[in-house]
Amino acid sequence: MPEIRITDVCRDFGQHRVLDQVDLRLESGSLTALVGPTGCGKTTLLELIAGLQNPTRGTITVDGEDVVGPRRDSILIFQQHNLFDWLTVRDNVAFGLRNRGLSKREARRRAIEQLERVGLAAFADRVPGELSGGMRQRVALARALVLAPRLLLMDEPFGSLDHQTRRIMQRYLLTTWRQSRATVVLVTHDLDEAMRLADRIVLFSASPGRPVEVVDVPAQHPRNLEDGQLRRVRDRLLAHLQEEVALSEFAGAELAALGEAGFASIPPVVKVHGGVSDGSA
């Protein structure tokens, strides 16, 4: 399974630097969560790994190969399911297989197999417009998994789902990830989601975006977030995340007001693993 190395990566949009000097190594078969405030460049980093954008500076390698475009073995999933309205559920799942040169018949056969695995075979002939939000996201996941990707990149995949559906989808992702042992990179703004799923959490600061803290989560699944050790990690990350969000959302005067309201009483940040900088306030 692929290992991702991100070396000294910067990404500018015109004058604006979205990502600044990102150095990360994501181990093969790991599930990494990228967490940070809106606009911290985590989505951009995901699209760089997917080969849908190119870095302004620096290199990204997957299994030692430079990423220059979309790779056959990596799939990107968005918050919106992006299913194709004009294809049935079966043909949506068959879409990627067809692109790989499979015959229509063979692609559809494998699509049905995949749908059976995720319990959606009864909906094969429906169109996305006839499905619920959770089902659509499951079809989107099936559409990616049928290609047996070795690298699964997910951009807030459950962000548009209601709370209960999201929890179920998280468990579903864990099960399928364990079966496939793909390397997964998950972008989320939900710290609890990251705590439940990830082996490693990378916390980003905003403007310019860069990793400020990398935390390994040693606990096995299923996890109890109220467990002592996890709870301490979560509380600290939450404080840090709140600080980053506050810094990216509010100006100095507003921050002072927030401080008076008790928000700035943030405990000192302790590095656990390979933190890159101190999150320049």
Partner 1 sequence: MGLASNLKIWRGPAPPSSEGPARRRARRWRSLGGLIAAWILLGTVWETGARLGVLNPAILPPPSQFIPYLIETSGSVGLGVNKISYLASLVETVIRVGIGFGLGVGGGLIVGTLLSAIPLARVIGVPIAQILAPIAPIAWIPLAIVLFGTGDGAAVFVVFMGIAASMTLATVAALGSVPGEHIKSARSLGSSGWRLWLRVTLPAAAPGVATAVRLSFFAAWMSVLAGEMAGINSGLGSLVILGQQEFQMKLVMAGLVTIGILGFGFDRLLLLIRRRLLWWETRGARAVAADA
Interaction site with partner 1 (CB under 8 A): 47, 50, 52, 70, 72, 74-78, 80, 82, 84-87, 95-96, 99-100, 119-120, 122-123, 125-131, 134-135, 143-144, 147, 168, 171-172, 174-175, 221-222
To partner 1, the closest distance from the beta carbon of 11 in angstroms equals 16
Give the residue with the Cβ less far from partner 1, 94 or 237: 94
63-69: long-range contacts (C-beta < 8 A, 24 or more apart)?
Answer: 63/2, 63/3
Residue 185 CB, shortest distance to partner 1, in Å, is: 13
Which CB, 129 or 252, lies closer to partner 1?
Answer: 129
For 170-200, give the secondary structure using H, E and C: HHHHHHHHHHHCCEEEEEECCHHHHHHHCCE
Helix axes 163-180, 133-145, angle to 10 degrees: 10
- Please give the Cα distance from 167 to 172 (Å, whole number): 9
Burial of 17 (0-12, 13-18, 19+ CB in 10 A): middle
Instruction: Supply the minimum distance, in Å, between the C-beta of residue 268 and partner 1.
Output: 37
The residue among 89 and 212 lying less far from partner 1, judged by its C-beta, is 89
Nearest approach, Cβ of residue 156 and partner 1 (Å): 12
Minimal distance, residue 100 CB to partner 1, in Å: 6
- Is the CB of 88 or the CB of 205 nearer to partner 1? 88
Task: List all residues 6 or more positions away from 101 whose beta carbon is below 8 Å from its beta carbon.
Answer: none
Can you spell out the DSSP letters for 128-140? GGGS-HHHHHHHH
Smaller CB distance to partner 1: residue 181 or 232? 181
